[in-house]
Every structure is written in C-alpha cells, then in structure tokens.
Amino acid sequence: MKKSRINKNNLARAIRESKKSKIFSIFTPLLRNISLAKKNNFNEKSFSSYCFQHYRNRPIVEDFAGKFNAYCRRQLLRYLTAKTINFNKVEEAFQKSLPNFLNGEHKSYFSKFLKKLRKNKKTKLLVYEHLKNAISEDENLPSIKLLTELDYDIHWTRSLQSLSSNNPTKKRVFTQEFKKLKRLFYRRINRDKILKAIKYKDQLISFYRGNSSFISKSFALKSLLAVSNKLLTSKLYNESKKTYDQIELVFKLDNHEEILFKKLWIYLDQKKLLQAHQFIKKNRLISKFDNFSPKLQFWIADTLNKNGEEKVSAGLFLSIIESRPLHYYSILSYKSLPENHKKSINFVVNSNMTAKQTKNKKQLFSNSSRKYLKRISIWSKHKRLTFIEKELEGLFNLPKKKIFSKKKISRSLSSEQLDNILIQKITKTLNSFGEYLPSFKMIYKGLSEDKVVLSDDILKALFPKSYFNKISKIESDLDPYFVLSLIRQESAFNPIARSTAGARGLMQLMPNTAKLFKKRIRSKHLENPKLNLQIGIKYLKKLVKMFDGNLIYTLAAYNAGENRVIRWRKKIFTHNDPLLTIESIPFQETRNYVKLIYRNIFFYNLIYENKSNIKDPLEESFKISLNQTLNLK
C-alpha cells in the first residue's frame, strides 16, 4: 500500500505465495479481504464486510491489518465526499473510524467531508450526533482547525462548552506560557543570573498552581523536577531543597522516589555523611527499602556503610545483587561488600535443564512453533526487526503444549525450564543472523517475568563476542572487551545501525568525526564494519589519552562530545569520587550510557576472563590503562 494505492500485481503474488506456503498461510484471510475490498472498489459492502476485521492471536497479522484499516478509513472519507452517497449504509463504519479522525488521521479528507455536510442537513444531524457522543466518551475535542468547519446549533454548542476545560487549543495556550517561563529560567541560570532565575522558578510554580487544570500534570511535574535538578547541579543546595518541598506540596506527593534521592543527594554531594544518615533515619527509608529502585537502594546502603553500619549495609548490598544481578548498582554493591561476603556471590545460576540437554531429541518443537521459528529466520535475514518482535510475541503466546512436539517434554519440565529451552533456541537463531537487539530484549523480558534463569548460556547470549577477533587485530593497546562493551551499547553489533542524529555503524560514528581520521570518507562507508572499527577505535584511543585514562570522562565524551566534558569538569565535576562524578553528569542519556558500559565491561570480564577476585579498589576500576585490561574485576 504505497502512495495510497494497492498494487494489484503485488497483491495477487502475495495471495499465491500465502496459499503455497503453510508458514505464511496466516496472512491469507487478510489478503483475501484486501482483494475483495479492492474488487468492489471500496463500496458500502467493502466497509461492512472486508474492512475493520479482527485477526486475534496473530500479532503480526494485526499489524498489517492496522495499515489496511487506515487505508480503508481514507477510502471511506473519499466515498463520503463523493457527489451521491448513502450515509446510512456506511454509518457503522464511520462510527468505528471517528475516534481516528478526531485524533488527526486523514485531516484534509475529514475537513473536506465536514465542509460538505453543510449542504446535507439530514446527514449533518446524524454525523453531529456521532461527534457529540465520541467527544463525550473520550472527553476530548478535535483540533481548532476542525472545529471551524462545523456549524453550531444550541445543543452542539452546549456540548462543547461542557467540555471546554479539555479543549486542546485552550490547553495549548497555557502550556506554551508555562514553557515560556521555563525557558526564561534556563536562560537566566545558564548566564549565572541566579536571582532572576529563582524569580522565574517561583513564577513557574505559581503559574502551574493557578492553571493546573489546563496543563498536563505529568509534563509539569517532569519540567519542575528538571528545574530543581538544574538548581542542584548549579550547587544551589538550599534553593533546590526548597523547590523539591514546593513540588511535594503542589503535587501532593508522598515518598516520591526521585525527590527522596535528590534530597539525599544534596547531603552526599556536599559530603555531609552524618546529615545524609539522619535523613535516611528520619524518613524511615530502610523500612521502605524493597520499594525503591536499585539506584536509591545503593545510595542508602552506601551511606550506612560509610557511617559505620557495615553489618546492615552488607545485608542491603546482598539484597540488591540478589534482586537485580545484571544492574550497574549490583556491581557497585558487589564491589562495596567486605571480602568475606564476596566469596558467596555467584552471578550465574545453572538451570537443571537447558537446551543443551535436549539437543539430541529429534523434532523437539511442534509444527506450529517451527513455522514461527522459520519466519523469524526469514525476517532476521532481511533485517525486519518489527516483524521479528511480532513473531516473538505470537510464539510466546502459544500454550506450552503447542510449542513442543511431545507432551512428555511439556509435562516433565517446569515452565521456567521450557522457557529457557525456547529462548536459547530463538537466541541461537537470531544471533546467527546478527540480530542481537531482539535477542537482548527477549532475554531481559524473560528475566523480569522470572521465566529465565541467568545461566552461563544466557549470559553469553547477552554479552556476545561478535567482532572480537577483528578488534584484536586492529588494536593491541586497548582492551578488546572495552571496545566490545561500547559497541554493545552503541549499536547492539548492528553494522548498518543509524541514529536519529546521523551516527552510523558499529561504533555509531558521526560522519564529521570520521572525517577527522579519513578525509574523503562518506556516510555510507561507515556501514563497513572493518572501516568503522578502525576509525572508531582510533577516536576512542584519542579520548583515552585526552582524559588521562579516566573511563568516565572518556565514555561521556564519546557520547556527549569532548567539549561538553571539558566544560563539566570546570563547573560540575568538583570531587574525586567516581561514583559521585557519574551521578553528577547533567544529561540522563550520558549518565545511563556510562553506567551501562561499565556494567558491560564487568560482565565481559566475568564471563570470558573468569577473574574471581576483586583486588583493586573501586576507584581503580574507573581507570583505563593502554596495553592493559580494565581493572573491573
């Protein structure tokens, strides 16, 4: 369905292929409906019988059907704007489609249809009734542009007035004014005009308080938290604490995790450990420990540890590791534990039954699941990530007895063991085509739902050694696991990956950066793995030397730019503690980027180097030594 047309030849070919192949037979009903709708030139029968059908339990078919339904809605509007129509025959289809039209789909056609209604009073009454009902149900109005196309009677006007507080146009006016005040705050604080910045911050909170019904609560909360964080980054500790208190009051928040962390951080950033300890006790954070994210959990445990409560903190560190073994803060917890506790920690759990133990069984999977696996292979070969994810969704929705060929297997193994077998099979298939990202997503989802245990095979699937040999040949000074860890985060080993900013290839190089090392290079050349690695490693090595082997500065510069990091070092990075430095990185994306690559390095060394003891202090693990491996283990 390209350029608002259905290609007749392609449609006929698709129908033939779906009939030939059992693998793609699930598409036959949809293709048949498309063909019949086109054959009937999208008349009344098409809209009632062939469009807007459901294809349950077939996620990928539903995805294609959604595109076809959008096409049908366009054809419906074309039908309604024709010279002679019978609205009664397509009234049901119009009613189903109306929410989509009100949300902005096919704006020009819908606007044309509303103009035409003025000439047909009978149809206008029916359509307006449907409009009023749709607006009442959704409590939302169409855009101001569409409203101008309507003729108002007294009842219609009153219907709109009763919902006027939800008018997006009216909301937009207040939201724009809120944004304007926020911009003025940032403009002043970035120029170190502190008093004026505080004045605009107070106006911003006051403006929201008086107009909260017209401004999105979530948007306002996110914006005001960002303003408070900016005050904290600027070392205006008292003003930032005051602002967090104002936010709690205005939004009626109790134990909001981010605010709790930032209030604790005010003391930690000033190295006031005693006050931080008192804050934890006063707010009873230990009793609420299990409800918090690993970030706040770690800093609570770390604060207690530094205030002499080693026994309590050790228990909290162990709790973090047990609940989230793959997390950055689990690694910090592991490295903060006393030596006698570290020996009992094992990040890898061996399951009783894995795919290896079933590899000799012939036809382990049923016909249904083998069709899914075959289609996953085909989509992987053609790099169709969206289709792969839809197929995975469909496969995991199958009952267990339909996934495996023999009932004995389903009955003799636990659900967790069956999921492990299936996930390892899918992972092997995806990885063989270099499709690591859907594999990572699937494993993380399985871990979060307790369907997967963190076995050695699963860890190796999460941290593959793709391109390891090429990296080793290109550069001997940098640890190849360091480079692998960066590539895993940048592109998930996809050599043709592209970012919205224009970065290309395995190491996500910007064309202008690449030209610093190879003048005549073009963007498309960066999709060549060998060339991308050669330039990317040279750039990474340059940053390592520039920042004297500081892992945090090197990674932050690779992500956000070296000039930004130079500015941050002057204004923001005011302490030597690497953990405080990471939490002080102003950009959330860069902050998470550094944490994740540090995590990657740790697990690459754990899996492939099998280093069992941590000999170096925590601070040493944030240093890069050329010609040596990183000291994360």
Q: Which residues are catalytically annotated?
A: 490
- In a 10 Å sphere around its CB, with 0-12 CB exposed, 13-18 middle and 19+ buried, how is residue 485 labelled? buried
* 547-575 core/surface letters (b: 16 or more CB in 10 A; e: else): bebbbbbbbbbbbbebebbeebeeebbee
CA atoms within 13 A on the CB side of 591: 13
Tell me the torsion sign for CA atoms 310, 314, 317, 319.
negative
The one-letter amino acid at 438: P
Listed in sequence order, the DSSP H helices in 21-120 are: 28-39, 44-45, 59-80, 87-102, 107-117
Cα 367 from Cα 26, distance rounded (Å): 14
Stated length of the chain: 633
Query: Tokens at residue 35, please?
Result: 């063909």
DSSP per residue, 369-431: HHHHHHHHHHHHHTT-HHHHHHHHHHHHTS-HHHHBS-HHHHHHS-HHHHHHHHHHHHHHHHH
* Cβ atoms 180, 156 nearer than 8 A: no
> Measuring CA to CA, how many Å separate 89 from each of 99, 111, 604?
19, 21, 64
> Measuring CA to CA, how many Å separate 159 from each of 105, 131, 153, 167, 300?
23, 10, 10, 12, 53
SS3 178: helix
- Helices 480-490 and 588-604: angle between axes, nearest 10 degrees: 140
* Cβ atoms 239, 198 nearer than 8 A: yes
Other Cβ atoms less than 10 A from the Cβ of 67: the count is 10
- Helices 154-162 and 121-138: angle between axes, nearest 10 degrees: 10
* Cβ atoms 289, 316 nearer than 8 A: yes
